[in-house]
Structure 1
Amino acid sequence: MKDYRWIHEYCLNRFGSAEALEARLPQPCEAVELKALGDDRYLSVMSLRIFRAGLKHSLVDAKWPAFEQAFFGFDPQKVVLMGGEHIERLMQDARLIRHLGKLKSVPRNAQFILDVAHERGAFGNLVADWPATDIVGLWRYLTKHGCQLGGLSAPRYLRMLGKDTFVPSNDVVAALAAQGIVDRVPSSQRDQATVQAAFNEWHEQSGRPFCQLSMMLAYTVNH
């Protein structure tokens, strides 16, 4: 595989200067910021990610104030009490995206967040304390214990929160394939470990956060 220097030089050549490159790169949140987020915000963003999946993001985002109202500000203590009849009433609410499976996921994920909060004091402690050098482990934890967080939803959820993670987008997977690291979306535990090891190596070489390395790698794909 190519080393970090190659990736950096490629991006510099593409954008013309270090300043132009840096302006395009995301900054992850600090652990203290992630811990300051309330459990309601973790549930809201989790639900937003689930409803965005397969839909135009701007459409979902425009409806989100109505979701905040319908789900009591995503307070997990209140949402977890929403039973089947309540969800059926929401299916008649024209302000919402009336997808039964996704609506049902909200109280289920409220229970997930409450379980983690009971164990760790707050859901944010789980997210903030998980090391980025094993971020695929957090993906798997979210997929296993959460509802409708499979595929790319877990890494995209973490990126939305500001947690440092790489995201195996189409361009990132294409770049990984070009370097002979993996030849498909890393869905198996073995492939995820292989990709994690590559990103760990680039992180050690550069000191950059994983979200920046992920975006820089995507920029090495020609369009």
Structure 2
Amino acid sequence: MRDYKWLNEYCLNRFGSAAELEAHLPVPKTPAQLRKISDDRYLSTMALRVFRAGLKHSLVDAKWPAFEEVFFKFDPEKVVLMSAEHLERLMQDARIIRHLGKLKSVPRNAQFVLDVAHEQGSFGAMIADWPVTDIVGLWTFLKKRGSQLGGLSAPRFLRMVGKDTFVPSYDVVAALNAQNIIDKVPGSLRDLALVQDVFNQWHEESGGRPMSQISMMLAYTVNH
């Protein structure tokens, strides 16, 4: 396995300067910023990620104002009360994407958000306080307690809300494979722990560079 110094030098050579490299890297939100995000916005983003999965993002995004309307601006207290009959009626609304399984996930995730808020004060508090050195633990938590948040949906949701996380995208997995770390998207607890340990090492070697930036830098080492 190569160290962070190699990764940094590779990316500096690719972009020509530190400033140019930094301009191409994501900047995660601070814990304070994550705490300020209201629970309805977390639920909205969660639903957006669920509906984006397997579909063209621009198609989903164009319809999102209608989703905001039919789901009461994603107020979890209201969404959780939506009955099966209500969701069936939404299947007749041409303004939204009529996928019953995904529609059903929204009230379920509203309950999830409310449960976490009851346990920890707010959903944002839980997101903010979760240590990045166990970010795969947060993926597992979201998958277990949320609805349709398996696979890449949990890390992509976290990236969307601004939580620092790496994402095992095609390019990141290819980069990890090139270093003989893993050869497929990590799914087992063993593989998740292995990848977390690798990112923790690079995070420490870099002096605390965000996981999301290390993830992007890894992706930049893959030549297409």
Q: What interval of TM-score do these two structures reach, taking the shorter chain for normalisation?
A: over 0.9
Q: 2:199 aligns to what SS in structure 1?
A: helix
Q: Aligned-pair distance for 1:20?
A: 1.1
Map of 1:194 onto structure 2: 194
Map of 2:209 onto structure 1: 208
Map of 1:97 onto structure 2: 97
Q: Aligned-pair distance for 1:12?
A: 1.1
Residues 3-14 of structure 1 mapped to structure 2, 5 A cutoff: 3-14=3-14
Residues 127-175 of structure 1 show CA distances to partners (whole Å, capped at 9, x for unaligned) of 0000000000000000000000000000000000000000000000000
Two-structure CA RMSD over aligned residues (Å):
0.5
Residues 47-79 of structure 1 show CA distances to partners (whole Å, capped at 9, x for unaligned) of 000000000001100100000000000000000
- Structure 1 length-normalised TM: 0.99
The worse-fitting range, judged by mean Cα deviation, of 136-145 and 10-19 is: 10-19
CA distance in 2, matches of 1:39, 1:22: 31
Q: Which runs of 5+ in 2 are unaligned?
A: none
Residues 179-215 of structure 1 show CA distances to partners (whole Å, capped at 9, x for unaligned) of 0111111011100000000000000010200000000
Residues 20-169 of structure 1 mapped to structure 2, 5 A cutoff: 20-169=20-169
1:222 aligns with 2:200: no
- Structure 2 length-normalised TM: 0.99
CA distance in 2, matches of 1:204, 1:15: 23
CA distance in 2, matches of 1:88, 1:204: 50
CA distance in 1, matches of 2:202, 2:25: 16
Q: 2:183 aligns to what SS in structure 1?
A: coil
CA distance in 2, matches of 1:55, 1:208: 32
CA distance in 2, matches of 1:185, 1:104: 27
Q: 1:213 aligns to what SS in structure 2?
A: helix
TM superposition outliers: structure 1 runs of 4+ over 6 Å: none
Map of 1:176 onto structure 2: 176
CA distance in 1, matches of 2:124, 2:185: 28
Instruction: State the one-letter code of the partner of 2:74.
Output: F
The alignment of Structure 1 onto Structure 2 pairs a total of residues equal to 223
